Structure 1
Amino acid sequence: MWKGRFAQDTSSLVQQFGESISYDWRLYPHDIAGSIAHARAQKQAGLLTDEEFSSIEKGLKEILADIEAGRFEFKASLEDIHMNVEAELTKRIGAAGAKLHTARSRNDQVATDTRLYCRTEIDLLVAAISELQSALLDRAEKYAATVLPGYTHLQRGQPVTVGHHLLAYVEMLERDKGRLSDARKRLNISPLGSGALAGSTINLDRRAIAAELGFDGVTTNSMDAIADRDYIAEVLFATGLCGVHLSRLSEDLILWCTAEFGFVIFSDAHTTGSSLMPQKKNPDVCELTRGKTGRLVGNLMNLLMAVKGLPLTYNRDLQEDKPPLFDSIDTLKLVLAVNTEMIAAMEIREERALAAASDPMLLATDLADWLVKQGVPFRHAHELVGKAVAESVKTGVQLDQLDLTKIDAAYNDDAKQVFNLQRALAARTNPGSPSIENVKAEIARWRKG
């Protein structure tokens, strides 16, 4: 493609070092769609005859079909997807194929291709996240009234329900969808026509090309259009944070399936055994999810480090944007799919969860609230309950079995009414709180919306 300037062939080692076709081949549908739109604009500008355009369009569609059927041979000597497609087109249709690159550069071509790729993959990721949300909602609905401890510092704190706990992850995933959708809006502008960095003296109808490709508009600065990889960074941030959320869910579930907690049972299909210990049933899906999050976060760092010191506009470093992008998309899609399947088959051991939540210490804060309702200032109420807790620990008598009136005159016999788990949950009616009615209403809202 640059033989006029060079007297020597590119070293085979440099070819191996510089090729990207081994991974950017997957841009082929977007590259071909962009080329057809570009060729149509060339025809409208009088650069191609109707016959030449028809030949180009037909040839590109045939190449698309061959790639999808596995009949196309990608060549590392042609470096990337752009030159592989263009060279094959020229081979098939002759001189008209050599006209296709008029008024564009591989720089604006790849920027277009990756935006189209991100747009398509975001739509698939959002759909996959919705599937996982549906699985979580199904479990939340089944266990809407199943009480278990909520934790802070991994210490039992207050009673919640399994439904409320799982809905927290539905909320997180909704924010992940929002970030991806927001990134999609921002990236959906066409850089095609920006050329290598300064546009072209051959002016094609950029807006018509953008409209054909489904873009909302065109970029307004050719240098920024070529150098910009913000949209990839946004996608990688959104996928990374989604991975972090799934890793946190995994950590909860890993704890819950231990003998010490015993709250959850995973199906045999979503666990593994040990090559040595025959009794083991390991939560490998959760552990791998937690581990793969490091890849997702690392891919974001990879891209940011690649672009942080680049002068405008294109530098070959930008070729390194695609491996982390492709890896994050592939990884998150698989993580979402396997977690959806696992969650859908997951069962909660309700009796174990209830037994853990029946510890009267979980209602210590409710006891302080009761004192507040008797007119005791909260800080003093906190102190009085703390004394009751200390007495319980010291004597080994359960908090709900203590004679609280001996601790302070602020207590009376009615205080023990606090130690009713169902009543305590039912009292948590404020929006966002875990009363069973609230949980059911939230599930219905998610189902509807």
Structure 2
Amino acid sequence: MAMWGGRFTEATLAEFRDFNDSLSFDYQLALQDIAASRAWAAGLLQAGIINQQEAQQLDAGLADLAVAIEADPTLPLQTQEEDIHSWVEAQLTAKLGAVAKKLHTGRSRNDLVATDLRLWTRLNAGYVRQALLSVLRALLVFAERAGTDVMPGFTHLQRAQPVLVAHWALAYVEMFKRDLSRLDDAVARLDVCPLGCGALAGTGVAMDRHTLAQRLGFAQAAANSLDAVSDRDYVVELSAAASLCMTHLSRLSEDVIFFCSGEAAFFKLGDAISSGSSLMPQKKNPDVFELLRGKTGRVLGHLVAILHVLKGLPLAYNKDMQEDKQGFFDLMATWQQSLLVLATVLPHLAVNTEQCRRAAELGYSNATDLADYLVAKGVPFRDAHELSGALVLKASAAKVALEALPLTEMQQVSPLITDDVYAALTIEAGLAKRAALGGTAPQQVLWQLKQAQQWFDALSD
């Protein structure tokens, strides 16, 4: 029976029920609905609405229901109830009789679902956080394992300057660190309890909402009933945090896909994380990274969807808000799964050290080092840049590397160049010069890695 049927005299259309009912997806809130109901029953006892015996009956009945749900989370789907709230009430009524009908005193499905969803989000955000920490740990291990391996760095997908492979990995550590802080910030803001705000105007029961919030582990009770029942900011915030985190994950995946290609061959895919072709026996495909890249669009779509749902809603609760769950449930599950998969596959990536170094030596990536060399000789940078470019043209025409040009030809462009230029044009010299904070010099990268490891270790202290 519908929880709202008292003023209706005609049965609802089956088509309307199919369109209106939410049990098919909000059954996932069963444990949160039960937890909120147990806290509410304790509040009703404190307010004098029910007696001690009734409170004990309700709590025991709800506890039994939680055990049943933990054994079979799909239990609610075996009924025809409208939503998870009506399912919980129907199960209690079947077991306890009239006392179960007292549970909904002073509350609404509006404040109840707002509470349930916050509880569910807080729990699942914790799972995502652990998955994100697993990615950070895997990246730090990858960076440490890469040591002083060097690879080409790119701008515009053109070889630019050599960088350490560890420096590349630590760039993503920085991104995921920011993602972790955004997740934590969003969780801190959702830590507010709407229960006891009723449909929109507050409860008519003398409920101690601060104690109610504490029972459910919230930091505080919501201050405004209109806002509390209609606030889905935390859904948007976490959807945005997920979208940005998945974008970082997608960028990493794109890098790895390119680095594993035959044209680059910087990284090697382990067999355990590769797939083949049904037609071409030689293929070794980076499907897992392509899927990670693809799932980013799915998460971004859910963010856009919830923003569109909320953008024109008046206060307070509107049924449009039922659309806050399916996409969000999928978003949180996809986010967590994607992070766990990335953490699992990163150890199966190996650096092709020799190929990385060969590639770093190509493309005249030491041209900036040559300009810096001329600057050290007193040449203004703009002039040094032009002179270095002229030497690149000369080397390109001769089809040799910059460091292969004879000294006499270099001196035709600038007489300031002496034979010490060859030491300045080595990869090691170029890397060593990038020793300022954030640079790719080996000692600087080692320091960055130690700092990141200390930060990570401090999280578990």
TM range (shorter): over 0.9
CA 283–440 in structure 1, closer or farther in 2 if over 3 Å, else same = same
Which of 309, 314, 320 aligns to 2:312? It is 309
**Aligned 8 A contact 1:250 1:286 in 2:** yes
**Distance (Å, rounded) in 2 between the aligned partners of 1:324 and 1:375:** 61
How far is 1:30 from its partner?
1.1
Aligned to 1:20: 22
- Work out the CA distance in 2 between the residues paired with 1:263 and 1:416: 26
Query: For the residues of structure 2 that align with 1:239 and 1:100, how far apart are their CA atoms?
Result: 36
Secondary structure in structure 2 of the residue aligned to 1:78:
coil
Q: 2:347 aligns with which of 344, 349, 355?
A: 344
Decide which of 33, 37, 40 is 1:38's aligned counterpart.
40
Q: Is structure 2 residue 373 aligned with structure 1 residue 370? A: yes
Aligned counterparts of 1:95 and 1:16: Cα–Cα separation in 2? 29
**Which of 157, 162, 166 matches 1:163?**
166
- What is the letter of the counterpart of residue 209 of structure 2? R
Spell out the pairing of 1:48-67 with structure 2 (5 A cutoff): 48-67=50-69
Query: Contact (CA 8 Å) 1:149, 1:353: kept in 2 or not?
Result: yes
Per-residue CA deviations over 1:59-104 (Å, capped at 9, x if unaligned) read 0111111111128343563221111111111111111111111111
Pick from 98, 101, 105 the counterpart of residue 102 of structure 1: 105
Match of 1:145 among 124, 129, 148: 148
Equivalent-residue separation in structure 2 for 1:203 and 1:267 (angstroms): 63
> Is 1:273 the equivalent of 2:276?
yes
Q: CA deviation at 1:292?
A: 0.4
Which structure 2 residues correspond to residues 94-243 of structure 1 after superposition, within 5 A? 94-243=97-246
- Identify the residue that residue 405 of structure 1 maps to in structure 2: 411
* Aligned 8 A contact 1:227 1:312 in 2: yes
Match of 1:82 in 2: 85
The equivalent residue for 2:11 is: 9
Q: CA deviation at 1:360?
A: 6.7
The answer (yes or no) to whether the contact 2:196–2:202 under 8 Å persists in 1 is yes
Report deviation, 1:366. Answer: 1.2
* TM-aligned CA deviation for residue 417 of structure 1: 2.1
Q: Which residue of 1 aligns with 2:459?
A: none
CA distance in 1: counterparts of 2:5 and 2:360, whole angstroms: 75
TM-score (norm: length of structure 1): 0.98
Give distance in 2, aligned partners of 1:419 and 1:84.
73
Q: Which residue of 2 aligns with 1:414?
A: 420
Distance in 1, matches of 2:235 and 2:79, equals 25
Tell which deviates more after alignment, 328-337 or 73-82.
73-82
- 1:445 corresponding residue in structure 2: 451
CA RMSD of aligned residues (A): 1.3
Distance 2:164 2:441 in 1: 8
Distance in 1 between the 2:236 and 2:92 partners? 33
Greater mean alpha carbon deviation, residues 430-439 or residues 311-320: 430-439
Q: Kindly report which structure 2 residues correspond to 1:381-392, keeping only aligned pairs within 5 A, or say none.
A: 381-392=384-395
Secondary structure in structure 2 of the residue aligned to 1:159: strand
Runs (4+) off by over 6 Å: none
Q: Distance in 2 between matches of 1:65 and 1:305?
A: 38
Report which stretch shifted further, 396-405 or 227-236.
Answer: 396-405
Q: What are the ranges of 5 or more consecutive residues in structure 2 without an aligned counterpart?
A: 456-461
Instruction: Normalising by structure 2, report the TM-score.
Output: 0.95
Q: Return the alpha-carbon distance in structure 1 between the equivalents of residues 379 and 76 of structure 2.
A: 80
Q: Any conservation in 1 of the 2:132–2:339 contact (CA below 8 Å)?
A: yes
User: What SS does structure 2 have at the residue aligned with 1:94?
Assistant: helix
Instruction: Tell me, yes or no, if structure 1 residue 251 matches structure 2 residue 251.
Output: no
Q: Is the 8 A contact 1:19 1:77 kept in 2?
A: no
User: Does the 8 Å CA contact 1:360/1:419 hold for their aligned counterparts?
Assistant: no
CA contact (8 A) 1:188 1:216 kept: yes
**1:23 offset after TM fit, Å?**
1.1
What does residue 458 of structure 2 align with? none
Q: After superposition, what is the alpha-carbon deviation per residue over 1:284-340, rounded to whole angstroms, capped at 9, x for unaligned?
A: 100001100000100000100111111111111100000111011111111111111
Q: Deviations over 1:103-144 (max 9, x none)?
A: 111001111111111111111111111111111111110112
Q: Secondary structure at the match of 1:413?
A: coil
| In structure 2, C-alpha distance between the alignment counterparts of 1:65 and 1:360, rounded to whole Å | 65
Q: Which amino acid aligns with 1:341?
A: T
Percent identity (aligned): 44
Q: Amino acid of the residue matched to residue 444 of structure 1?
A: K
Paired with 1:233 and 1:2, the residues of 2 have a C-alpha distance of 30
Number of aligned residue pairs: give it.
449
Query: What letter is aligned with 1:98?
Result: K
Is 1:405–1:413's contact at 8 Å kept on the other side of the alignment?
no
How far does residue 260 in structure 1 lie from its aligned partner after superposition? 0.4
* CA drift at 1:359: 2.4
Partner residue in 2 for 1:299: 302
The one-letter amino acid paired with 2:346 is I
Match of 1:423 among 429, 433, 444: 429
- The superposition leaves residues 350-404 of structure 1 with CA deviations (integer Å, 9 ceiling, x where unpaired) of 1110110122711111111111121111111111111111112222232112231
Please state if 1:29 is matched with 2:31: yes
Opposite residue 446 of structure 2, the aligned amino acid is K
Secondary structure of the equivalent of 2:77? coil
Following the alignment from structure 2 to structure 1, what is the Cα–Cα distance between the partners of residues 140 and 37? 43
The 8 Å contact of residues 76 and 84 in structure 2, kept in 1 or not, is answered as: no
CA distance in 2 between counterparts of 1:229 and 1:220 reads 15
Give the secondary-structure state (helix, strand or coil) at the position aligned to 2:315.
coil
CA contact (8 A) 2:250 2:296 kept: yes
